[in-house]
Amino acid sequence: MQQNAPESSLIGEEYEVEVGPVAHGGHCIARTEEGRVLFVRHALPGEKVVARVTEGEETSRFLRADAVTILDPSKDRVEAPCPFAGPGKCGGCDWQHAKPGAQRRLKGEVIAEQLLRLAGLTPEEAGWDGTVMPAEGDKLPPGEVPQWRTRVQYAVDAEGNAGLRKHRSHEVENIDHCMIAAQGVSELGIEKRNWEGMASIEAIAASGSGDRQVILTPRPGARLPLVELDKPVSVMRVDEKDGGVHRVHGRAFVRERADERTYRVGSGGFWQVHPKAAQTLMLAVMQGLTPRKGETALDLYCGVGLFAGALADRVGDQGAVLGIESGKRAVEDARHNLAAFPRVRIEQGKVESVLPRTGITEVDLIVLDPPRAGAGKQTVHHLAGLGARRIAYVACDPAALARDLAYFADRGYKVRTLRAFDLFPMTHHVECVAILEPVKKDA
């Protein structure tokens, strides 16, 4: 909070600046006349703005700021469709003030910058045409926003009002509607009722079925409220003592669809948030790998088994697939989802611990979809030693992807193709699929 800021704090200081290039994280870079670096949100490259400092002090390497006055707007600027987007408001969306095509261009520039800086790759060297593709159905008229977010994490303030967190803050921005929430989430009416005693509410509306679920996290010592929402919904609660998720009533899972198969996803299990994301990424991975009958494959960080199921279908009865996942509930779901495939085995544990214990020394195909931090050098080097003819790397963070691609290059793997998908419209997040293959050695 500003009142607790040290004497050297620059919070609240304003600078008139020319906005430079976009940077990873939903902001642009600018410099003050004195040479201070500002990370400016709510701005666009090329604009002249008044930037107000939100974080930083005299000794900081850089300052964070919001563009509070636009003196010379970009042609890509639009009025933010959402009334809760803007300086000091909800932190969920980074690019509400940019045209959809401009948002995708900005994401493409971030990917290109990270690839060059961290992996030494140009787009051409990565087999990428530089475009970020919108999901099917997301091209909408100006002023309309894709309702894509099938999972929304609401924070609850001291009075019991549900809202969304402000940027880099625990403060709650009270809202009456989230524009990017999927229709199934909005129809629950969570913002309309009081949630006294709750710390947060996660709302889930499965895109592969009509299943809806809310996961309640009570404040310490609080009793669970009677949940009466506008649509039928199952209710789960997060246990105060062990942090586990327990069923209150209804199903303990939701049902999703991809690759003509239904997947059970329990509370805490991972599933892509955009309704089209699972199918889009599955197809990109399978098209890149071109699995053949009888091949062996690894699906690492496999979640509830999306890629393992697609691989099992394609390698046939003579093939084999091993999935590794750390989440206990996700492993249970994956085993349930893929029970019809005796050629699929799912192991629980961290990839870096389980993979060496399997004794696997060679494999034909690898899929890895690691968390935001990436797979890391140790795991990448282990994978490169398995001799896979192709590796599919699914990444939600271009910096982590670029770092890991550099590690793969050190071990003789090059990028064959890279594709980027805008599966998080209005935010700075972007999903990439890189296909790698071993470098051919000269005879």
Structure tokens at 24: 């990873």
What is the maximum alpha-carbon separation in the chain? 72
418: amino acid identity, one letter: L
In this structure, what DSSP letter does residue 42 have? S
- In the residue annotation, 396 being an active-site residue is answered as yes
User: Residue with structure tokens 């696997």?
Assistant: 360
Query: Rounded CA gap, 216 and 229, in Å?
Result: 13
62: amino acid identity, one letter: F
E strand or H helix at 217, and its extent?
strand 212-218
DSSP string, 249-309: ES-SEEEEEETTEEEEEETT----SSTTHHHHHHHHHHHHH---TT-EEEEET-TTTHHHH
Instruction: Identify which of 133, 121, 129 has the alpha carbon closest to the alpha carbon of residue 403.
Output: 121
Burial of 124 from C-beta contacts in 10 A (0-12 / 13-18 / 19+)? exposed
Q: Angle, to 10 degrees, between the axis of helix 306-315 and the axis of helix 277-289?
A: 40
Contacts of 246 (CB under 8 A, 6+ apart): 236, 237, 238, 239
**Of the residues 90, 93, 302, 396, which is catalytic?**
396
In this structure, what DSSP letter does residue 272 have? -
Structure tokens at 430: 């972007």
CB 316 within 8 Å of CB 333: no
DSSP string, 19-39: EEEEETTTEEEEE-TT--EEE
CB 281 within 8 Å of CB 303: no
DSSP string, 60-114: -SSEEEEEEEEEE--TTB---SSTTBSTTSBSS-S-TTB-HHHHHHHHHHHHHHH
Query: Rounded CA gap, 413 and 418, in Å?
Result: 14
CB 90 within 8 Å of CB 175: yes
Known catalytic residues are 396
